[in-house]
Structure 1
């Protein structure tokens, strides 16, 4: 029995059920195994009083400190989040808050390994906790943790130190592995492991029926992602503006909503472009199944779940040449197109797919190896090797976990 402490600042809760849902799904897949015991520590950052009584912090403060979450044993200790510090103290504060709990849990049922699920602040915090408990640890990089935090000088130093002390690391794409190595992280300890997708939930459905259920007649483009500049929704809106008769539905929440709605209004696109807001997870498969194209103009990604969920639904994607996009699309041209991250580039790629739509079964075939079960099998093998003490000597960065 391999006993794992999963440390993740990205993990769903009752107030934010979609927050870090990819970590939840991965952890649930691992927890189904008879040879693995998983306990989750999902710390909640809180500013000092009285800021802790305001807005989302007040809601976060009301979360239970321990609960059963979809069958998982989840602990939610609070750590001090100091405003105005740029996040450089987050890892230290997180480790200070989690270590007493980790000591107690380790004494009750000893862990074999700590798995940090985001590179910052989780990785440096895991390094401190693992050192105190005498345990090996692994860090997973997912994209923005490397591309954003890895550029912040004081934080980048913490990440490099943690990566050099880790028994092993995981990157969610081959391109992200290369980006990690370029930062100075030891390439010999980084293994790519592609994200998983629920192939039962995201499955082939009749597109006309799904589209009718959405109240749409005609070509449909869907975009999934938080309403933040990083996701490039304005680019997709401008692209669709060039494609008469094409509908666009954008699913996601975030601070850019008012600006994007104003942009839609300026272009007189209210009859064709709709901001759906937050879409319940149960409704996402039908939305993707009804789409002719899923277009996401992100500035950067590791390997986006939205990409593989769309492809699993038989819907080709249009994305920039970022992160693991080439890795996903090399599985077959039917899965979609890389596009220049401009309105003209996206419009041309969307128009080409609409003019010659690929067979949906051929699109789905590309991600059939991307199941959560397969993801869990690879992760278990990786963690077992590290727990056995072979991490630093046995990892070959050229040998993808995928």
Structure 2
């Protein structure tokens, strides 16, 4: 089977950590030996590569094509219209990708279906491309594309149209399927296939050695994710005055860094907070393995990969009760869910975890239920059924 993966959420040479979970799922699918794949991952057009332009400068430095883990990846450019562009994004994205997809077909890569990730604008654009090239489309819903974007009237209508015209929809958790059905999607077309975890990359190490290497002493929390408001790093910092002697490591970069640093100073906990910056995924197991607990205080998450990554390293989690997270943290060995998403809620959950702390081996065994194998098998069943039709 030949597939075309279409999404703006894909790692690239300039931003190697961008939506790495999409690439990981595709790599495991291709490793089955039953699928050949190529990737079209458009990036916004921007004229200047200077780093002072932030993420737009990053977009400009992304190469037109590259190869990642043996997968050919093309990066056509599409126009982004600031402030008013949200309603036009699917059409702009589809029109910009047509020439690239057309050349791919002309050169002999006659794919069987389009595998799209994120409903808006990517999934809507993919359905437009599918109609243009007469190819079936499968859209994977991943989180805020269903939990947030449908709050806007025009995008909501386009998401409903895409769901009705896609050959099938995948959701990364049951909660997103429920929300899609409430939006009017046919439940018979929706298949939940949760993200897995790479059990070879994320594994238990020498915990005592890792702690010495990183310089940790006492109970240590780890918070991983972009430094943006929805990730709730501020709540983890805010819990520290209620958790004497506890240290917090924060792995990630983003616009919230100055505010988070100021908050740590204001609360007089700056000596107990370490900002690690952006940590490449291959280095994350060191920090997961050294920490005593991962804290994820997000306001929105479809299926947070950091939870299983931490558990696979033997480290339990403290997490907010949002969307798919209760489906991940579903046993004492996994960790504790917060009663409320607040500073006090984080502190109470950490204290509850410490009072009944699971064995690291039990946490690892819990994570082993979530290998990528069943996700890959589910994709193959679904894709094969679509191609047969």
TM-score (norm 1): 0.92
Matched ranges for 1:305-344 at <5 A: 305-330=305-330, 332-339=331-338, 340-344=340-344
Instruction: Tell me the equivalent position of 1:163.
Output: 163
Shift of 1:241: 2.0
Conservation of the 8 A alpha-carbon contact between 1:120 and 1:145:
yes
The CA distance in 1 between the partners of 2:215 and 2:21, in whole Å, is: 29
Secondary structure of the corresponding residue to residue 4 of structure 1: strand
Instruction: Tell me the equivalent position of 2:135.
Output: 135
Shift of 1:164: 0.4
Q: Identify which range, 312-321 or 52-61, moves more after superposition.
A: 52-61
Question: What's the C-alpha RMSD, in Å, of the aligned pairs?
Answer: 1.7
Secondary structure of the corresponding residue to residue 276 of structure 1: strand
Instruction: Point out where structure 2 has 5 or more consecutive residues left out of the alignment.
Output: none
Instruction: Tell me the equivalent position of 1:24.
Output: 23
Instruction: Tell me the equivalent position of 2:197.
Output: 197
Corresponding position: 1:234 with 2:211: no
CA displacement 1:279-337 (0-9 Å, x = unmatched):
1222200100111111110001011001111111111111111111221122x221111
CA displacement 1:340-392 (0-9 Å, x = unmatched):
11111211110122233211111122221222333222212221112222xxx
Shift of 1:260: 0.5
Secondary structure of the corresponding residue to residue 334 of structure 1: coil
Instruction: Tell me the equivalent position of 1:80.
Output: 79
Instruction: Tell me the equivalent position of 2:284.
Output: 284
Matched ranges for 1:150-299 at <5 A: 150-299=150-299
Instruction: Point out where structure 1 has 5 or more consecutive residues left out of the alignment.
Output: 390-402
Conservation of the 8 A alpha-carbon contact between 2:222 and 2:248:
yes
Secondary structure of the corresponding residue to residue 294 of structure 2: strand
Secondary structure of the corresponding residue to residue 4 of structure 2: strand
Conservation of the 8 A alpha-carbon contact between 1:292 and 1:354:
no
The CA distance in 1 between the partners of 2:110 and 2:9, in whole Å, is: 24
Instruction: Tell me the equivalent position of 2:97.
Output: 98
Q: 1:52 to 1:279 in 2, by over 3 A?
A: closer
Secondary structure of the corresponding residue to residue 184 of structure 1: coil
Instruction: Tell me the equivalent position of 2:39.
Output: 40
Shift of 1:10: 0.6
The CA distance in 2 between the partners of 1:106 and 1:57, in whole Å, is: 30
Conservation of the 8 A alpha-carbon contact between 2:48 and 2:60:
no
The CA distance in 1 between the partners of 2:283 and 2:48, in whole Å, is: 38
Shift of 1:240: 2.1
Conservation of the 8 A alpha-carbon contact between 2:49 and 2:60:
no
Conservation of the 8 A alpha-carbon contact between 2:14 and 2:61:
no
Conservation of the 8 A alpha-carbon contact between 1:251 and 1:275:
yes
Secondary structure of the corresponding residue to residue 199 of structure 2: coil
Shift of 1:55: 4.3
> Number of aligned pairs?
386
Instruction: Tell me the equivalent position of 1:109.
Output: 109
Instruction: Tell me the equivalent position of 1:396.
Output: none
Instruction: Tell me the equivalent position of 1:393.
Output: none
The CA distance in 2 between the partners of 1:161 and 1:266, in whole Å, is: 48
Q: 1:98 to 1:238 in 2, by over 3 A?
A: same
CA displacement 1:156-190 (0-9 Å, x = unmatched):
11111000001100110111111222222222211
CA displacement 1:174-225 (0-9 Å, x = unmatched):
1111122222222221111110111011112232222112101110100111
The CA distance in 2 between the partners of 1:231 and 1:87, in whole Å, is: 23
The CA distance in 2 between the partners of 1:135 and 1:288, in whole Å, is: 42
The CA distance in 2 between the partners of 1:135 and 1:286, in whole Å, is: 43
The CA distance in 2 between the partners of 1:241 and 1:222, in whole Å, is: 16
Could you list the structure 1 runs, at least 4 aligned residues long, displaced by more than 3 angstroms after superposition.
Answer: 49-56
Corresponding position: 1:376 with 2:376: yes
The CA distance in 1 between the partners of 2:310 and 2:57, in whole Å, is: 35
Where relative contact order (Cα < 8 A, 6+ residues apart) is larger, the structure is 1
Q: 1:349 to 1:83 in 2, by over 3 A?
A: same
The CA distance in 2 between the partners of 1:233 and 1:71, in whole Å, is: 36
